[in-house]
């Protein structure tokens, strides 16, 4: 292919430099008959992760013993309502608990046949001995099936190289990964074809190539001229991000993902606020005839000790609410509490919004086209891209229907949806500048689905999105869409330097650290939503109901140095540092930046002839306030792998 259809040089170089220690040392080669040649590689690893930080009170719902704020940056929203439905993963594992202890195998089979035919298969299996040792709520069966014991087929395709009028080409059919653009770490840019397996990214011993979810597609690469190449794909089955199973350590949403609660629970604080605003209840409160309900009266199954069915049941919840309102110091209180409950429609029903199911996109709308141009008058190359896709991250919409009247105060249920018919156009370039390999890209999305929460109440009169599930709202209350469309621009740039002892950063850093080789990479990115109005009457949905910004920016740094045969151990030692920082602004949908959010990882990688590898790492999260859902989940991890 004359190099025309390869990834940009920065991303390719960093992959080679930073993942060398995980490459198999030598494949097992064999023949099938006279014409079919095969090689088989395997990596078997064992890894564990342990929590090293106490839970943060501010990230736990009040009904679950926390102190989440009763207000939020988004006016009239409540952080307590958010965290009640987002804290199971945090509550399930205590400080110094091993939350993951997994043995995992990854296997690759490459087949080469006559006439430029080839095939590739990659699959993985894992068993986690510790993930289901939860402290508070048991993992649901489908969460356990994914988190505890899992087999997954990754790549599975057949390729054919061909010559078309003296121009090289290749067609590939099956599960595969398409890597476009110049991004290495920053999400939300051109490289949006394949979904990400977020769960695997958190599993100790996972290799970079296992994180992107291969999708079933047909891809075609053709060199049109010596300087211009075409690449395109058509995906015949859509797949979404694989989220952490609900209730596992890194899960930050109890209402989506495998094993989700199947309900959005209403906190005691929210119902208390409604009571305090009711004129009849205000009189009873002032006279001491009732009280505001203590925390734990309502909430989720882990906090109340009730099942989801009981929390949705008026038979269970009416007497519980009555008892919660009763002031034990006033003998007249039980009668008054009964009167308040009977007269307040909000208190006569259950306190959860059930799941109405999921709506997934059609399978026909996933395709992309690109041109790669390497002009003869420069060393730079350029890429031009167009993608048609459906969203891969879930959005929460609400359905208002009388059939749910017995289950919740507003006769509503929530539905998980993935907006379809999205478009992306982008351009990229990569080139060398002295000792640096530079890659850059700009992408534009005319209709980026931007999450909103139409269940947020309002005291400011009729608004088109607020309180949709309460007052009719969009589509006369029958359907309350969980997103608005916004224009989005994103620009990002990657700079990579492989250290040389005679030039660049290496001539200073290698002698300073006494190392023989090393790598430094920095990636910066910024997003711009020109039509976004942060407080313009739209109930934006971000962690802890923070508010998005038109502009957001941040950066990621990764660097490593290597000591061959350190201490005569027979292993190459490679200390590595990773650092990310959301410098300015909150990106809608939290991708890619949250203001002030920082994360760092210190790792020691060990490598013996690319056959035995190991790592020891510590990761810490801080900054960003309550929107940083991982700020109390620092952890240490270790893994060892054998390649054969």
The pLDDT of residue 11 is: 38
Average pLDDT over residues 555-559: 95
**Tokens linked to 422:** 């999205």
The residue count for the chain: 644
The pLDDT of residue 454 is: 85
- Most confident region among 314-318, 364-368, 560-564 by mean pLDDT: 560-564
Average pLDDT over residues 89-93: 97
**Tokens linked to 173:** 């059919």
Percentage of the chain modeled with pLDDT above 70: 90
Which tens digit of pLDDT belongs to each residue from 163-192? 988 899 999 999 999 999 999 899 999 999
**Tokens linked to 64:** 């679950």
The pLDDT of residue 484 is: 93
The pLDDT of residue 60 is: 97
Q: Is the pLDDT of residue 24 over 60?
A: no
> Is the peptide bond preceding residue 592 cis, with omega within 30 degrees of 0?
yes
Position with higher pLDDT, 491 vs 20 = 491
The pLDDT of residue 307 is: 93
The pLDDT of residue 279 is: 80
Q: Name the phi and psi angles at 75, rounded to 5.
A: -55, 140
Average pLDDT of the residues of the chain:
89
The pLDDT of residue 32 is: 87
Q: Is the pLDDT of residue 10 over 50?
A: no
- Alpha-carbon distance of 204 to 103, in angstroms, equals 9
Are 404 and 354 within 8 A, CB to CB?
yes
Q: Considering only CA atoms, which of 238, 545, 230, 566 is closest in space to residue 391?
A: 238
Q: Is the pLDDT of residue 594 over 50?
A: yes
- Alpha-carbon distance of 359 to 603, in angstroms, equals 41
Q: Tokens 């850059």 — which residue? A: 440
Instruction: List, as one string, the DSSP characters of 105-127.
Output: EEEEEEEEETTTEEEEEEEEEEE
Position with higher pLDDT, 410 vs 454 = 454
**Tokens linked to 153:** 């087929």
In CATH, the architecture of 9-264+352-643 is Beta Barrel (2.40)
Q: Considering only CA atoms, which of 305, 316, 351, 317 is closest in space to residue 137?
A: 305
- Alpha-carbon distance of 231 to 240, in angstroms, equals 23
The pLDDT of residue 361 is: 87
Which tens digit of pLDDT belongs to each residue from 409-436? 667 889 999 999 999 999 999 999 999 9
- pTM for this prediction: 0.89
Which tens digit of pLDDT belongs to each residue from 55-78? 999 999 999 999 999 999 998 899
Are 634 and 612 within 8 A, CB to CB?
no
| pLDDT bracket for residue 7 (50, 70, 90) | very low
Q: How far is CA 617 from CA 204, 523, 536, 604, 636, in A?
A: 10, 22, 43, 6, 6
Position with higher pLDDT, 549 vs 75 = 549
Strands 167-176 and 98-113: unpaired
Q: Considering only CA atoms, which of 453, 433, 546, 555 is closest in space to residue 496?
A: 433
Maximum distance among all Cα pairs of the chain, rounded to whole angstroms: 95
The pLDDT of residue 496 is: 96
The pLDDT of residue 26 is: 63
Give the N- to C-terminal CA distance of the chain in Å, as an integer.
30
The pLDDT of residue 536 is: 76
Q: Is the pLDDT of residue 531 over 70?
A: yes
**Tokens linked to 640:** 């060892």
Task: Give the list of residues 6+ apart from residue 344 with CB closer than 8 angstroms, or none.
Answer: 274, 275, 278, 280, 281
Q: Is the pLDDT of residue 195 over 80?
A: yes
Position with higher pLDDT, 276 vs 617 = 617
Instruction: List, as one string, the DSSP characters of 531-580.
Output: T--TTSS--B--GGG----SEEEEEEEEEEEEBTTGGGSSSEEEEEEEEE
Helices (H), 172-220: 198-201
| pLDDT bracket for residue 342 (50, 70, 90) | confident
Average pLDDT over residues 596-622: 95
The pLDDT of residue 274 is: 83
Q: Is the pLDDT of residue 6 over 60?
A: no
The helix/strand/coil state of 524 is strand
Which tens digit of pLDDT belongs to each residue from 110-158? 999 999 999 999 999 999 999 999 999 999 999 999 999 989 999 999 9
Q: Is the pLDDT of residue 80 over 90?
A: yes
Domain boundaries of the chain, sorted by first residue:
9-264+352-643, 267-347
Position with higher pLDDT, 226 vs 470 = 226
Across 212-336, the runs of DSSP E, i.e. the strands, are 215-223, 228-235, 263-265
Q: Is the pLDDT of residue 203 over 70?
A: no
The pLDDT of residue 254 is: 94
Task: Give the list of residues 6+ apart from residue 92 with CB closer than 8 angstroms, or none.
Answer: 134, 135, 136, 137, 247, 248, 249
Q: Considering only CA atoms, which of 264, 272, 270, 288 is closest in space to residue 324?
A: 272
The helix/strand/coil state of 93 is coil
């Amino acid at each position: 292919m004359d190099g025309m259809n390869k990834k940009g040089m920065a991303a390719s170089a960093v992959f080679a430099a930073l993942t060398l220690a995980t490459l198999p040392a030598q494949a097992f080669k064999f023949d099938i008959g006279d014409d079919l040649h095969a090689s088989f590689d395997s990596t078997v690893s064992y890894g564990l992760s342990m929590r090293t930080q106490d839970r943060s009170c501010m990230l736990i719902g009040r009904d679950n013993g926390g102190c989440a704020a009763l207000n939020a940056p988004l006016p009239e929203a409540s952080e307590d309502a958010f965290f009640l439905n987002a804290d199971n993963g945090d509550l399930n594992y205590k400080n110094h608990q091993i939350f993951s202890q997994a043995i995992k195998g990854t296997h690759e089979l490459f087949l080469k046949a006559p006439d430029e035919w080839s095939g590739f298969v990659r699959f993985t299996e894992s068993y986690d001995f510790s993930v289901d040792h939860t402290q508070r709520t048991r993992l649901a069966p489908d969460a356990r099936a994914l988190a505890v014991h899992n087999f997954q087929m990754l790549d599975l395709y057949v390729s054919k190289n061909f010559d078309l009028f003296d121009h090289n080409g290749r067609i590939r059919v099956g599960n595969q990964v398409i890597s476009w653009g110049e991004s290495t770490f920053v999400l939300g840019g051109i490289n949006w074809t394949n979904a990400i397996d977020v769960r695997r990214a958190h599993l100790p011993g996972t290799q970079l190539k296992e994180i992107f979810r291969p999708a079933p597609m047909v891809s075609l690469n053709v060199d049109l001229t010596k300087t211009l190449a075409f690449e395109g794909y058509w995906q015949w089955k859509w797949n979404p991000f694989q989220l952490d199973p609900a209730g596992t350590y890194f899960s930050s949403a109890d209402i989506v993902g495998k094993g989700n609660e199947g309900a959005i629970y209403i906190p005691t604080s929210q119902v208390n606020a409604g009571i305090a605003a009711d004129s009849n209840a205000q009189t009873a409160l002032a006279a001491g005839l009732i009280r505001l309900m203590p925390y734990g009266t309502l909430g989720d199954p882990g906090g109340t000790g009730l099942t989801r069915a009981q929390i949705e049941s008026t038979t269970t919840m009416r007497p519980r609410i009555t008892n919660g309102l009763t002031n034990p110091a006033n003998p007249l209180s039980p009668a008054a509490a009964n009167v308040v409950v009977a007269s307040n429609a909000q208190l006569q029903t259950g306190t959860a919004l059930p799941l109405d199911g999921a709506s997934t996109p059609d399978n026909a709308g996933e395709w992309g086209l690109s041109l790669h141009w390497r002009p003869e008058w420069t060393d730079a190359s350029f890429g031009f891209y167009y993608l048609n896709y459906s969203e891969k991250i879930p959005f929460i919409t609400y359905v208002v229907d009388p059939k749910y009247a017995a289950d919740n105060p507003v006769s509503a249920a929530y539905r998980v949806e993935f907006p379809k018919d999205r478009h992306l156009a982008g351009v990229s370039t990569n080139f060398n500048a002295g000792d640096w390999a530079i890659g850059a890209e700009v992408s534009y999305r005319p209709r980026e689905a931007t999450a909103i929460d139409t269940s947020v109440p309002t005291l400011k009169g009729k608004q088109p999105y607020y309180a949709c599930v309460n007052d009719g709202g969009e589509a006369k209350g029958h359907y309350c869409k969980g997103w608005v469309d916004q224009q989005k621009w994103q620009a990002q740039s990657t700079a990579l330097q492989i250290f040389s002892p005679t030039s660049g950063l290496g001539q200073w850093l290698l002698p300073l650290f006494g190392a023989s080789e090393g790598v430094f990479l920095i990636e910066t990115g910024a997003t711009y939503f020109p039509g976004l109005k942060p407080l313009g009457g739209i109930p934006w949905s971000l962690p802890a109901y923070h508010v998005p910004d038109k502009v957001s920016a941040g950066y990621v740094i990764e660097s490593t140095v290597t000591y061959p045969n350190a201490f005569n151990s027979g292993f190459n030692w490679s200390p590595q540092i990773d650092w990310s920082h959301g410098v300015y602004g909150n990106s809608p949908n939290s991708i890619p930046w949250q203001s002030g959010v920082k994360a760092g990882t210190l790792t020691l990688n060990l490598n013996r002839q690319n056959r035995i590898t190991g790592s020891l790492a510590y990761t810490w999260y801080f900054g960003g306030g309550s929107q940083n859902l991982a700020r109390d989940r620092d952890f240490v991890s270790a893994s060892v792998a054998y390649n054969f």
